[in-house]
Amino acid sequence: MKTLIFTSLFFFATAGINIQAQDKVIEENPANEKYGKTLNLGVGIGYYGYIGSTVPVGTMNFEFDVANHFTLAPFVGIYSYQRSYYWGNPNKDDFRYYHYRETAVPVGVKGTYYFDKLFHANAKWDFYAAGSVGFVFRSVTWESGYYGDQYAYRTASPLYLDAHIGAEYHMTKKIGMFLDLSTGVSTFGFAFHF
């Protein structure tokens, strides 16, 4: 996973240097660049505490400018997966695997600092580091016929914390593509600037 993260960042950094040398873009003053009023929609993979494997995830956030090069973005995400739990009634000797589906919905706020000025990035690129904090709301549905302990699998905290690094490439002034790598949910998606 670390190799994937570093390779992706190297690719984005190299591509940004090449584009800066070849692309004739009207440069904006990086000190005055605004990052807010942006809707980000992404899909990717997430790791949620006790699952033990990665699962598909979808995310959405909307960024607001708070200070120079800093935004806050309320966010919502969704993961859904199915697992099995071995259980049986000892009185009936009918042990077998029962399936359950869990849906986890993290909700919170993401704070993002943009390093474009530090990296001397051109107007087509944004580079950032961020942190997210929030809560995870969970819903579990068990297969019919299961009457055992429905809380046996729960060990993850409802507190949601995540650290991010990422980059966005602006295809036009209104649409960009981003790659967000994080400690919990890594996504690829589109950014819509208003």
Could you read off the pLDDT tens digit of each residue along the chain, which spans 194 residues?
Answer: 444 444 454 444 544 444 444 443 434 455 556 778 999 999 999 876 656 678 899 999 999 999 999 999 999 999 888 888 777 766 776 778 888 888 889 999 999 999 999 999 998 999 999 999 999 888 888 887 776 666 655 566 789 999 999 999 999 999 999 999 999 889 999 999 99
Question: Where residue 35 sits, what CATH number does that domain have?
Answer: 2.40.160.20
pTM here? 0.76
Contacts 24+ apart (CB under 8 A), 154-160: 154/50, 155/49, 155/50, 156/48, 156/49, 156/50, 157/49, 159/133, 159/135, 160/106, 160/107, 160/108, 160/132, 160/133, 160/134, 160/135, 160/136, 160/184
Q: What is the pLDDT of residue 22?
A: 40
Tokens representing 114?
């943009």
Domain count within the chain: 1
> Looking at residue 43, what is its pLDDT?
97
DSSP 19-85: HHHH-------GGG----SEEEEEEEEE--TTS-S-EEEEEEEEEEEEETTEEEEEEEEEEEEEEEE
**Predicted local distance difference test score (pLDDT) of residue 173:** 92
- Residue 171 to residues 93, 124, 126, 175, 178, Cα–Cα distance (Å): 62, 7, 12, 6, 10
Provide the residue range defining the domain that includes 145: 2-193
